[in-house]
């Protein structure tokens, strides 16, 4: 089967527009009239979540938070939210209300207003969230420059560890919370990065997306990658490939002193993503979450 990146590339070529006021496929959000940003996300049962791990409120929260994270990735603030839900017949009215409470709570926490949507009967539960925001200084994936430092806004791997803990009945409470209730990094930065993306598909894949968009080489220092604080075997692997952390990965040309922001690498001329250790520099293949791989998140 084709990869998600292949489909997006094909769609991007199909949907080229001559309208200079619109920047469409290729970034975390579409851009309209220079400062209006729009994105949509789908959250589907047994692909993105299982009801055995998620309450209905959790489903509403996470589906909305993951969409809002795209607004954060463009250096924007949230304005409006639209919601469409596919509802199977086995879900009681109370469950649907709790799902909407989760959507409403996440929207309100990040100053968004729900302005519409749709509901439809289906065989499995699905939530589709469209977010509309505004950015005075839009940051795209395309602006990384040789000499930039690569930064990330928080520790990585928590969501994937939380998923592993749910599957194996392990006690990693902070990671489980990270998996169920991610917090988009809206207004997390007081600078304007050169390039930025949110980490939804794993550090390696999203660094690769940044590298391709900016046409640069990204080198990550293994020892500087901030792994999750709850100790677990193979913590670095979760940080590199886990996904759904919704931290911001960005480049900038000055040193930052915020203790919650970690310098993890640098940008050079070239292409690709490399992992630097004490004695070696290894090119890393583009690996991470892919919607159309043979394994969904909940079958790995």
My answer on whether 127 and 275 are in the same domain is: no
Share of the chain above pLDDT 70, in %: 86
At 28, is the pLDDT very low, low, confident or very high (cuts 50, 70, 90)?
Answer: confident
My answer on whether 154 and 100 are in the same domain is: no
My answer on whether 81 and 172 are in the same domain is: no
pTM over 0.85: yes
| pLDDT in the model for residue 16 | 63
Instruction: State the average pLDDT over residues 127-131.
Output: 98
Q: pLDDT tens across 52-97, in order?
A: 999 999 999 999 999 999 999 999 999 999 999 999 999 999 999 9
My answer on whether 130 and 153 are in the same domain is: no
Share of the chain above pLDDT 90, in %: 83
My answer on whether 203 and 118 are in the same domain is: no
My answer on whether 101 and 168 are in the same domain is: no
My answer on whether 165 and 287 are in the same domain is: yes
Question: How far is 290 from 205, CA to CA, in rounded Å?
Answer: 9
- Looking at 111, 134, 157, the residue that finishes a domain is 134
| pLDDT in the model for residue 34 | 84
- Looking at 90, 116, 134, the residue that finishes a domain is 134
Instruction: State the average pLDDT over residues 186-195.
Output: 96
Instruction: State the average pLDDT over residues 268-294.
Output: 79
Q: pLDDT tens across 194-253, in order?
A: 999 999 999 999 999 999 999 999 999 999 999 999 999 999 999 999 999 999 999 999
- Looking at 89, 114, 134, the residue that finishes a domain is 134
- Other C-beta atoms within 10 Å of 119: how many? 12
Do the beta carbons of residue 138 and residue 71 sit within 8 Å?
no
Mean pLDDT, the chain, rounded, equals 90
The domain tally of the chain equals 2
Q: Domain of 15?
A: 4-134
My answer on whether 220 and 275 are in the same domain is: yes
Residue 63 sits in a domain whose CATH number is: 3.30.1330.10
Question: How far is 66 from 297, CA to CA, in rounded Å?
Answer: 15
């Amino acid at each position: 089967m084709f990869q998600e990146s292949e489909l997006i590339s094909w769609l991007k070529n199909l949907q080229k527009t001559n309208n200079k006021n619109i920047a469409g496929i290729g970034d975390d959000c579409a851009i309209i009239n220079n400062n209006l940003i729009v994105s949509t996300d789908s959250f589907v049962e047994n692909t993105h979540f299982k009801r055995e791990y998620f309450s209905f409120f959790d489903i509403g929260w996470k589906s909305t938070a993951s969409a809002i994270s795209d607004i954060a990735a463009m250096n924007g603030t949230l304005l409006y939210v639209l919601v469409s839900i596919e509802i199977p017949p086995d879900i009681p009215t109370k469950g649907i209300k709790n799902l909407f409470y989760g959507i409403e709570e996440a929207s309100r926490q990040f100053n968004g207003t729900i302005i519409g949507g749709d509901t439809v009967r289906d065989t499995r539960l699905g939530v589709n969230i469209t977010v509309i925001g505004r950015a005075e200084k839009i940051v795209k994936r395309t602006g990384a420059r040789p000499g930039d430092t690569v930064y990330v806004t928080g520790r990585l791997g928590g969501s994937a560890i939380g998923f592993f803990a749910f599957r194996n009945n392990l006690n990693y409470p902070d990671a489980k919370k990270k998996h169920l209730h991610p917090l988009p990094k809206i207004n997390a930065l007081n600078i304007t990065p050169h390039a930025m993306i949110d980490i939804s598909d794993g550090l390696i894949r999203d660094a690769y997306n940044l590298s391709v968009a900016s046409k640069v080489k990204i080198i990550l220092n293994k020892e500087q990658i901030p792994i999750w604080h709850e100790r677990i075997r193979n913590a670095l692997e979760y940080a590199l490939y886990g996904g759904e952390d919704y931290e911001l990965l960005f480049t900038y040309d000055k040193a930052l002193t915020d203790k919650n922001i970690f310098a993890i690498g640098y940008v050079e001329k070239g292409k690709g993503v490399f992992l630097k250790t004490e004695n070696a520099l290894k090119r890393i293949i583009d690996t991470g979450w892919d919607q159309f791989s043979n394994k969904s998140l909940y079958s790995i």
